[in-house]
A and B are shown apart, each in its own frame.
Chain A
């Protein structure tokens, strides 16, 4: 089925089952109907269509990369995305961080009894579109329905498998003094988009999540022979956590410059208002790349050709082997430690 055939209307007779029932996970006819008509139809591909207990496929040459992630975002739909597209992008991005080409995904759904069937259908449609865009196939899956009150609408787990077709070692431990540090775009949009909706904050403009797949620009960097030492996607904990984790793993001092780090004005304003640091806020379509210094300009050039990394920016460098430390040059040119956030980000009182 091509993208055009995909109908926004749910193929299940909604008048009969407007909400997910326990029976939809009970192994009987209703469950069969749900699997066939919703998941089977949306995710159709030869491997899934075999309807076997496990997916079978040939192993491509090269190393394999594997990752898993669970998605529990609330609300399910938010400006700029939804739990479905995020469940694809997030796992695809984790694979991309080892420079792997994402191939196959599994997906597990935990559905709370009473979830509107229409909601499930929209999420599944969004996953299908995202998977198509990322060039990955959903080859196996699982559905469980839990009692009302025992879940929060819908949880999704995806596991991804990708193939590493390049000879580079992309690891935090491979980060070296002198490396250029590049972020792939503006920071903090996803976290602030979610916070604005969840907390009912009204800003003049709607901040949209940056949820997007980033494997294309990453594979492009590798294709052009850019020497990449480490990649890390900037999800929970934001840039600050990623840089600290890498400094820790590699035993290096990292220096970045605040004014080189792109943050959109609306995100900046929202963070200022709530007393949050955009460098601590989550992203869903951003990564940081540590590349060999001579390749930095070329890497930036390649990244900027892709929409998702169009605002890529060189933000700093790795200084030396030392006790792990991330220093940031502040807007007025003085330096300070950029620390990991402690626990959940909480808005400040004043």
Chain B
């Protein structure tokens, strides 16, 4: 398929891999921030092509994974209400809260629907004036503009039966939180290309400088990721700590200005709890005062109850790169994608789920 196959070329992949082998002289630890990149790395077996000295750590960039348990519980509470149509992106449906998940709520009669765009939820609100339509707004800076557009559009249309349960999160504060942790092992980052397509990469310069880490804005196809790793390793080997853009075909330094403006208009930066990590200051988006009427949490009078993760789950350590999925005693036995304990097993983009799907048995040899 055009614009995809070019970036999945086996010969070129091996050339990039050979070049990475050539320039690598020391062990390096690199974190890919985005769950989409983790997925591609494991799906295509990209890490198998890398020198043993390069360790990839799968970062906290899966929005489904980092949505806190209590927000999922709130979603379940709202979705079970008889007058509500609860709308969500598909993969949030399987994510378990403390007791159940949205698919189970649907099975018990809740009206839970998958939408492909938040604007579809606005359309539903127009078509069903007697029902309350709630959209589950999760995701990083990538999906925030679409959520913002839905709120903006609902406000323009004067819709009173539309609201959002929001758990939008931001990447740079998470990088900052990771880097400022005393246990941090990460020496360089592959920044998430799609986040940067919206936000640009201006905000990464101070981070690269403050923590002396190379940050390479990277795409999602195998050749993107391999090139991103190559640029990162070159920086590390040469002692540089710069911001570079591998994904120039989609990302500009300033990003998508109208999208950023809309996000600024509709949202305000708030502290946000990340599943597996805890609360990070200024790491989330909440509705701005002018749009507070669309806040489902307020509309449905939900209590801010807090829920703790299962003690056995090491998702937090995995998200920080301190452990690998195989280090967990529950991995692939008691904790599976069908019965996930925590953040990293719940979405197919989570590190544990990706390992479960593609790496459950080691080693595999397909030659």
Contacts and interface: CB of A to CB of B under 8 A. Distances in A.
Given A334-B45, A335-B48, A269 B1 contact: yes
Q: How large is the interface on A (under 10, 10 to 19, 20 to 34, 35 or more residues)?
A: 20 to 34
Contacts of B14: 332-333
Given A255-B366, A328-B366, A346 B45 contact: no
A350 interface: yes
Given A332-B44, A348-B349, A337 B138 contact: no
Given A199-B114, A348-B90, A348-B349, A332 B360 contact: no
Given A335-B364, A336-B364, A348-B91, A342 B48 contact: no
B43 A336 contact: yes
A347 B337 CA distance: 15
Contact of A199 (B92, B116, B364): B116
B139 interface: yes
Contact of A201 (B116, B336, B348, B364): B116
Contacts of A201: 116
A323 interface: yes
A323 B364 CA distance: 12
Given A199-B114, A349-B139, A350-B194, A339 B358 contact: yes
A307 B41 CA distance: 37
Interface residues of B, number: 50
Contacts of B45: 330, 332-336
Contact of A349 (B46, B138, B360): B138
A255 B367 CA distance: 9
Given A337-B361, A350-B194, A332 B90 contact: no
Contacts of B89: 347-349
B116 A347 contact: yes
Interface string A275-308: 1000000000000000000000000000000000
Contact of A331 (B8, B140, B360): B8
A147 interface: no
A349 B359 contact: no
Contact of A272 (B4, B139, B364, B365): B4
The 10 tightest CB contacts between A and B, nearest first, are: A334-B45, A335-B366, A346-B90, A347-B90, A332-B13, A336-B358, A327-B366, A331-B8, A349-B89, A342-B337
21 contacts: A275-B348, A327-B364, A327-B366, A329-B366, A330-B43, A331-B8, A332-B10, A332-B49, A332-B222, A335-B45, A336-B358, A343-B103, A346-B90, A346-B91, A346-B93, A346-B114, A348-B89, A349-B92, A349-B139, A350-B63, A350-B139
Given A201-B116, A348-B349, 5 more contacts: A331-B222, A336-B43, A337-B360, A339-B356, A343-B94
